[in-house]
Structures are given as C-alpha cells and as structure tokens.
Amino acid sequence: MEYIGEHLGIGKVGNVFVILSFVFALLASISYFLAAKENEEAASWKKIGRIAFRLHGLSVMGIVGTLFVMLMNHYFEYEYVWHHSNRIMPMRYIMSCFWEGQEGSFLLWTFWHVVLGLILQRTAKNFEAPVMSIIALVQVFLASMLLGITIGEYHLGSNPFTVLLREHPEYSKIPLFSDANYLANPAFDGRGLNPLLQNYWMTIHPPTLFLGFALTVVPFAYAIAGLWKKQFNEWLKPALPWTYAGVTVLGIGILMGGAWAYEALSFGGFWAWDPVENASLVPWLVLVGAAHLMLINRNKGQSLFTAFFLAILSFLLILYSTYLTRSGILGETSVHSFPTAGMAGQLLVYMFCFVIMGMGLLIIRWKHFPKQTSEEAIWSREFWMFVGAIVLLVSAFQISFYTSIPVWNKLFGTNKAPLKEVIKFYNNWQLPFAFVVTMLIAIGQFFKYKNTNIKEFLKKIAISFFVALAFTFLMIYILDFDDRYFSILLFSSIFAAVANIDYMFRVLGGKVRKAGASIAHIGFALVLLGALISTSKKEVISQNTSGKDVAQLGKSYSNNDNILLTQGDTLKMGKYLVTYVGKRHEGINIYFDVDYFTKDENGNLVKEFRLAPLLQTNPRMGNVAEPDTRHFLTYDVYTHITFADMEMLKDKKETGDEYAQAKNHTIKKGDTLFSSNAIIIFDSLSVNVDKAKYQLKENDIAVEAHFQVLDIRKKYKANPIYVIRDNSIQPIESKVDELGLKFMFWQINPEDGKIQISLQEKKSNVRDFIVMQAMIFPYINILWIGCIVMAIGTVLAIVERVRKK
Amino acid sequence: MKKIHILGIIIIAIAIGAIFTTLNNTSTYASFAEAASEPDSEFHVVGKLNKDKEAVYDPKLDANLFTFYMVDNKGMECKVVLHKNKPQDFERSEQIVLIGQMQGLEFQASDILMKCPSKYNEGQPQASK
C-alpha cells in the first residue's frame, strides 16, 4: 500500500546519523588507541581520532536534532513520537518527551559524553589519547544501543527512527493502517507524555542526573589511562576537578529526584529507598569516596590502589544501575523502572566489558605500583579520610546488596522479596555509617596531614564539640526527640556542621574561596540533619476523627492514618480544623479543595490556608494521586487523597434525582435512625388509617407508622403504611421531598412489636466525601538549604582547584 | 599487624553482616497455601483479583478496611482483608502483590502493590472512523 503524507525522509536522515555516530565512535576509539602508543605514527592517529570524535559528536547532535524536529512537528508515523508526545501537550514539556523513552534517555547520556569529550580534547593534553580512547569506546557501546539492527536472531539496540508505527509488530494489524491516508485522520493523535512527568522537575532532573552519570566516565577514563600508561600519580591532578563536578552534579540530580517525588508523588516523603533511587545513590557514595582518596593520594601519595579502585568502581556502578533500571529485572520491586526493551543482554555485555577492562587492568598493574614506604600515622588526616572513604564504600555495599535481591533471585533461583518495612531496614543499617561519616567530617579537617599534635587537636575541636552538644540538647528539647538511636546522628550531624563553620572562620580566616570543602561538608551535614529530623519526626495528623467509626469493627491493626472528610463538615486534624469544600475539574486533574482553620482566642474559626491535593485521571497509569503541600519556614503540611468515590466524580445532575439503594432497618418504638441529612425517630403505630385518602378497600388491613424526621432547621413527618390486601403485602410509601427521603413499611412482628422498614435517599443527598492522608514534615527546609550549600561548596572547591593549575 | 589489616577485618565483618541480614530480612513470594502453612510469617502473594466476587470498601465505616477475593498464581482463591484504603483504580489491576500473613481463612494484608495494564502494556493507536 502507498501511504500518504508520511515523512519517510527524515527517518532515513536520522538513521544515517545513528550509523555514523557508531562508526565514528569506533574510528575515534581505535585511532586514539593507536595514538596512545606514542610511536612515529601517533601524531597522525591522534589527528584522525580528533576528527573522528568531532564527527561522532556532530552525528549525535544530528540524532538529537532530528528527533526534536520529529517531536515538534508531530510526526506520529514514527513510533517514538507517537509513543511519547501528542498534539494537546504543552510545548514546554517537549524536552521531557525527548527523554521519556529508553532511546531518548540513552541519547541524553550519549550527548553529555560528547560534550565532556569535546572539552577533554582541549584540556587533557598528555592524557588526551588514552582518555579519549576510553570515552570513545564507551560511546561505541552507547551508540550501539540506538542501532536497531538485527543480526540473525539478535536485535542490537533500539532505534527511534526506523520504527514506523504501522510496521511496529504490536500495532501493524490495527485496522487504522488499512487506510492509506491514516495520518490525515483528525482523530489520530499520539499517546502523549505521561502526565505525571509533566512537572517542571522532570524538565531539569533527568538532564542533571544524566550529566552526573556522564561525569563519572571522566575519572574512570583517567584512572584507566593512568594504569595503561603507568602514570600512576599523574592522572590524579587533571581528574580531581572532574570528580568533584561529578559529586556535585550527581548529588544535585539525586536530590532533585527527591524533590520531584516529594512534590508530585504520593508515597509521603522525598526518599523511599526505592531501587531506582538507590541505583543512583550507590555510585554517588563511591564517587565521594573516590574523590577523597584521590585527594589524599595527590597530597600524600598514599592509598593509591583504593583510589584507583573507587574511581573505576563508581563508573562501573553507573553501568550496573543502568542494567538494574533498564533490563526489567527489578520487576515487582520498583514502581518506576523502565519497561524492558529487550536490551538486557546488550546491557550485560556492556557492563562486563568494562568490569573486565577496569578490574583486569588494575590487577595486572598492581605490582608496578610505587611501594608505599611508610604507614599512615593514626593521628593523620589521610588515615581518617581513608577510613571515611571505606565507610562510604561499605555503606554503598549494603545498599547495593539489598537492592540486588531480584538479581540474586535470578542467579540462584531463589524467591526472595524485599521486606515491607524496607525503609526502616535501610535506615537502621545506614544510620551507623552516617554517624561515622559525619563524625569524620567534623574532626577530619582539624587533623593535619602526616601527624597531629593530639593535645592541640583536642583543644581546637573542644569548642565545636560543646557548642554542638548544647545545640543537640536544645533540638531534642524543642522537637521532643525521644529516639535515642536517632539522637546520636542528630548530634553528629550538628557537630559536623558546627566544626566546619568553626574551621572555616578560625582556621581559614573566613576566606570563602578556600573554604569550598568546609562549605560542602556543612551542606552535607545539613542535608542529613534535615532528612533525619523531617523523617523521624514526621507526624501523621490525619487520624480519623469523623466519628464514623473504626472501633466498632475491633480491628486493632487498622493503621488509622486516613481521615474521612464529608463535604461541608469541619473536623479536627492535628492543630487544625479542616473542611472539605468541594472539587474542581481542570483538564484531567480533579482538585479537592480543603480549607484549614485555627481557632482564635474567642473561639472563632480563622482560615489559615487552602490545600488542593489532586487526582490525576492519568490515561496511562489510571488515577494517580498527587499531593499538595503548604510550606512554612519550620515545617510543611503535606496532604494527598487516598480515596475518592469515582462514581461521585461524575456530574450530580445525571444521577441527582434517582434514589440510591434502599437500606433495611428493623426497629422498635422509640428507636432512632440516621440518614445522611436527618435524624429519624420512630414514634408510634396506628391502625386508624384514613382508608379513603389512600384509596384502600374495605377488607384491606392497614397499619400506619409515624416517624419524626428532624434536620437542623425543621421537623418533618413521614407516615408509611403497611397494607395487606388479598394476602399480599402492598405497602404505601411515604416521602419527605424536602430531604429526599423515601420510607416503605414492610413487616410487623407481632411478638416483639418490631417493624421492618426500608429507607431510600436521593443520590443527590449523599454528600461527597474524600479520604485523605495528611502529615507534617518538620524542618524539611534544612535539607533543601543543605543541598544548595553543598552545591556552592563543591563548585568553590572545583574553581579553586582549576585556578591552582 | 598493620592498621590497614585491622580495618580490613572490620570491613569484612560488616560486609558479612550486611549479607547475612539481607538474607534474613526478606520475605518470600509465595502462594496462599504456603502462606497458610506458616501463619506467623510475612509473605508476598502474587495473584489476580476475582472480579466475580464482591469487593467491599465502605470508607464511611472504616477508611482503612477493604476486603476482596484474590486468586493466586496456583489458582487458589482466598478472602483478603486489606488494612488500608482501597487503591485508586483497583478494578483495573492486572496483577496484585499482597504483603501480609494468613490468619485463619483470611489473608490479612498490610500492603498492596498493583500492576495496571496501562502502565506496562502500552495503549493502542486509535482513530475513530
């Protein structure tokens, strides 16, 4: 069939770029490899390598550009465009469409490597050839992920351009494609970007995180180059600023992910030890360790092996986390890993190649390492920095090992599942590590390289120690902090912050430019402090106070975190009184407005603020709850909807006049019933029924029940009649139209005088309600401030290091 | 003995500790029958919702109580009492993972994970004609 209006040309162009990027990466890698040999031909190979890498870069830009053009012009004939965008989506999220898919995110990663490679070509000098050879090799693997060619039975990569929607195996048989002019069909549109990702954090979090990932390749490439060229110490100096940059960018990227989760997801926090989160935290921890060891080695020439090991490992862990999140192996344990694209095998090959290369080379070269003549003194800075790096490594190991449960299951055929209380498990394990690390951060800088006079050291540190201790007790008092285990970390984090502030002013004389490390450490301590306080003192305030009760079921294990709010009612929740005002529809979002009041001295309600947590009727994931949070200086009020009756979300007019299902009641005189809007009292029965009025026959037996129906304003009467005519029951209903109630009288039990009635309410009577969860996160701002401080500190450290060159 | 060796021993000890606790602090993917054989331990049971039987959630009575019937992967059906709110879109779920323990004939679940078809299998291109 000849299809009309398809833009097949641009796909071919894109595909040419894909192939070129692969070929040039391969050429660059080989040329640079030969250039690293330093023979006569080296210079010309280097030239070829340079050009090849630039052409590779150009091709990658070409791929990126082509994909953007396709996305912006809505070329839905291409699977990737159809899959990740649509016409109605705001254009500002076009970037998010770009990296939503597997291919696009690989492309983003590749793109950053190109940028870094182009900078390194100019700055690496002697190291250019070996370093660029490694980076180009990494690019060969990444470019192969986009190839999308089939060799025999095996698919290599997944190509965003060649896959036409009509040729896509899953969709090819769809009747739509029997129309040659399907593109002109006005109803044909893309699937669009997952609305959950239509959030500004999703525009900046992925590129930041991927730049962080990409930056780990630089210390890796330098370390390999150092081993390869036997320049065991020379690689450190140029690699250090890159390592710091990696620490900064990856750290910020991870915390941005946390900020997104806190704002757009409703799991109730910023960190859940989810495998995907762990997959980026683990390499970061190792990279931080690497940065410190590289620094020791640069200054004192010690711990060389470990410095190499960690620098190589952090990149390998990035590859491992790529495997974890993209091979589909996490399956049930994580909600937000990528679906599989059949690349598990390719990812494994990619990882093992570099594991063998990195670790193999390290082992081979080990015996050539310069002999360490003396052991570190116990009171030296280098010794304690070394200890700190090792603690980070062990901490990373613990997280990694537990996160890898699905991998162990696959390897050993076991059937293990992570605990439900997984957060608590990680917290308990990580707390001692965090304690040791923060203690080391506090005292580390007060130690001198080589050796320290311990008396002087104690004198210097004493002030910080006691100030921190005083602060800690104050915090414990203010926060009513009762957990002893957590108090230890509370102290050590405060100690770390205080000691570094002290160091910055007393020792460095407040010279900000030199204080990069101190500032970064203060930031890190604040991040931990904020995380510790906001998580351990997190308070769920949405206990059910609706009175519509839980206790009668006797379920002691009911977690009781949810509050039921009926429209119009005001309930107490924590220190607030809350009212569910109503709901608003905006596009696919349904906002639930909830007002928060406090009482003033006179007992009057004063409105404080309104929060509108929402339900997103997400066409791709079903209904997703998104939280709404009120930020105060010292705490956040965080709320999200846990249940809303979707039936009620429809317009009331449709169903308003119908009666809902009847409820049966067996009652005796004097009993009280409740409808949603009234109190109903059963007064009496009478046999004196006005037969004419109800058109009853002479032989009919009729009994009338008298009810008082009370709402807030008025008293009504309801008199349903029980009628037996010719041996059958034919009751006469009684309505209270003002309240939308209908009564039917079905049965009398002469023995105990009880009667059975049914009560129906109009659907419009049943008031809307929501079930909500609300919590208070105290002092979470410390965490965000810490994040910014840490970023400033590391940037200062990088600037200082580059300047020193 | 050098300091480095002492440090090494400590690290190895902690690492072994981490491995050991990982192995001890896991629950198991299991069927209802297996869960019933050890009523006091926590299990992950994977299965499908029985859509023919009644799922009861009355938030006005208890917002944290939801009961339904699930058929596990071995085909055994069991009543489930979930001590949480009814998840949004529960009916659309394709697969359910329950976390909890067996008590008598009921599975008392403290948490639930769901897979919705839309999340993994993508929708189809559509156009009305």
Residue-wise pLDDT tens digits, A527-551: 999 999 998 888 888 876 555 444 4
When pLDDT is cut at 50, 70 and 90, the band that residue A400 belongs to is very high
* Chain A residues near residue B57 by CB distance under 8 angstroms: 643
| Contact assignment for B29 to A771 by CB distance below 8 Å | no
State whether residue B85 sits within 8 Å of chain A by CB.
yes
pLDDT tens, position by position, A496-520? 999 999 999 988 887 888 899 999 9
Dihedrals phi, psi of A150, to nearest 5 degrees:
-110, 125
Query: What region, left, alpha or beta, does residue A303 occupy, with left being phi > 0 and alpha being psi -120 to 50 degrees?
Result: left
DSSP of A174-212, one letter per residue?
A: -GGGGSTTGGG-TT-------GGG-SHHHHHHHHHHHHH
In the 8-state DSSP scheme, what is residue B80? E
| Contact assignment for B63 to A643 by CB distance below 8 Å | yes
Mean pLDDT of B91-110: 83
CA closest to A549 among chain B residues = B61
pLDDT of residue A32: 96
Between A336 and A546, residue with greater pLDDT: A546
DSSP of A640-661, one letter per residue?
A: EEEEE-GGGGS-HHHHTTSB--
Burial track A285-310 (b if 16+ CB lie within 10 A, e otherwise): bbbbbbbbbbbbbeebebbbbbbbbb
Checking ipTM against 0.95, whether it exceeds it is no
Gap from A643 CA to chain B (nearest CA, Å): 7
Between A36 and A155, residue with greater pLDDT: A36
- Residues forming beta bridges with residue A583, ordered by sequence position: A592
CA closest to A391 among chain B residues = B11
Between A337 and A465, residue with greater pLDDT: A465
pLDDT tens, position by position, A640-662? 888 887 665 555 445 556 787 78
pLDDT tens, position by position, B16-62? 888 888 888 887 888 888 888 888 788 888 888 888 888 888 777 77
Among A241-250, A267-276, B77-86, name the most confident range. A241-250
Between A403 and A663, residue with greater pLDDT: A403
pTM attached to this predicted model: 0.86
pLDDT of residue A498: 96
Gap from B7 CA to chain A (nearest CA, Å): 8
pLDDT of residue A294: 94
CA closest to A554 among chain B residues = B62
CA closest to B93 among chain A residues = A622
pLDDT of residue A336: 44
Angle between helices A780-804 and A516-536 (to 10 degrees): 160
Region of poorest pLDDT, from A363-367, A394-398, A659-663, B77-81: A659-663
Q: Report d(CA A225, CA A222) in Å as an integer.
A: 5
CA closest to A766 among chain B residues = B60
- The minimal CB distance from B11 to the residues A394, A564, A625 is found for A394
Whether the predicted pLDDT of A768 surpasses 90? no
| Contact assignment for B88 to A549 by CB distance below 8 Å | no
Dihedrals phi, psi of A703, to nearest 5 degrees:
-130, 135
pLDDT of residue A736: 85
pLDDT tens, position by position, A416-449? 888 777 888 899 899 999 999 999 999 998 998 8
Count the neighbouring beta carbons within 10 Å of the beta carbon of residue A538: 16
* Chain B residues near residue A309 by CB distance under 8 angstroms: none
Nearest of A280, A559, A284 to residue A420 by alpha carbon:
A559
Whether the predicted pLDDT of B63 surpasses 80? no
pLDDT of residue B11: 86
Mean pLDDT of A331-341: 51
| Contact assignment for A375 to B26 by CB distance below 8 Å | no
| Contact assignment for B126 to A771 by CB distance below 8 Å | no
Q: Across all residues in chain A, what is the average pLDDT?
A: 87
Among A26-30, A190-194, A347-351, name the most confident range. A26-30
Nearest of A280, A143, A269 to residue A205 by alpha carbon:
A280
* Chain B residues near residue A335 by CB distance under 8 angstroms: 113
Interface test with A, best of B7, B22, B72 (most A CBs within 10 A): B22
State whether residue B30 sits within 8 Å of chain A by CB.
yes
Q: Report d(CA B10, CA B66) in Å as an integer.
A: 48
Mean pLDDT of A401-412: 89
Q: Report d(CA B110, CA B45) in Å as an integer.
A: 12
CA closest to A196 among chain B residues = B119
Gap from B98 CA to chain A (nearest CA, Å): 10
Mean pLDDT of A693-702: 82
In the 8-state DSSP scheme, what is residue A164? B
Region of poorest pLDDT, from A311-315, A608-612, A709-713, A777-781: A709-713
pLDDT of residue A550: 41
pLDDT tens, position by position, A471-498? 999 999 988 888 888 899 999 999 999 9
Between A470 and A269, residue with greater pLDDT: A470
pLDDT of residue A554: 37
| Contact assignment for A555 to B84 by CB distance below 8 Å | no
| Contact assignment for B97 to A332 by CB distance below 8 Å | yes
Q: Report d(CA A497, CA A506) in Å as an integer.
A: 14
- The minimal CB distance from A557 to the residues B11, B83, B89 is found for B83
Mean pLDDT of A614-632: 82
pLDDT of residue A241: 93
| Residue A18: partners with Cβ closer than 8 Å, 6 or more residues away | A59, A63, A143, A146, A147, A148, A159, A161
Nearest of B102, B40, B100 to residue A421 by alpha carbon:
B100
- The minimal CB distance from A416 to the residues B26, B60, B97 is found for B26
Whether the predicted pLDDT of A569 surpasses 60? yes
DSSP of A714-783, one letter per residue?
A: -EEEE--EEEEETTEE--B-EEETTTTEEEEEEEE-TTT--EEEEEEEBGGGS--EEEEEEEEEETHHHH
With pLDDT > 70 as the criterion, what percentage of chain B qualifies?
88
| Contact assignment for B119 to A174 by CB distance below 8 Å | no
* Chain B residues near residue A620 by CB distance under 8 angstroms: 118-119, 123
- The minimal CB distance from A559 to the residues B57, B83, B126 is found for B83
- Judging by beta carbons within 10 Å of its beta carbon (0-12, 13-18, 19+), is residue A673 exposed, middle or buried? middle
Q: Report d(CA A525, CA A515) in Å as an integer.
A: 15
Interface test with A, best of B7, B64, B67, B89 (most A CBs within 10 A): B64
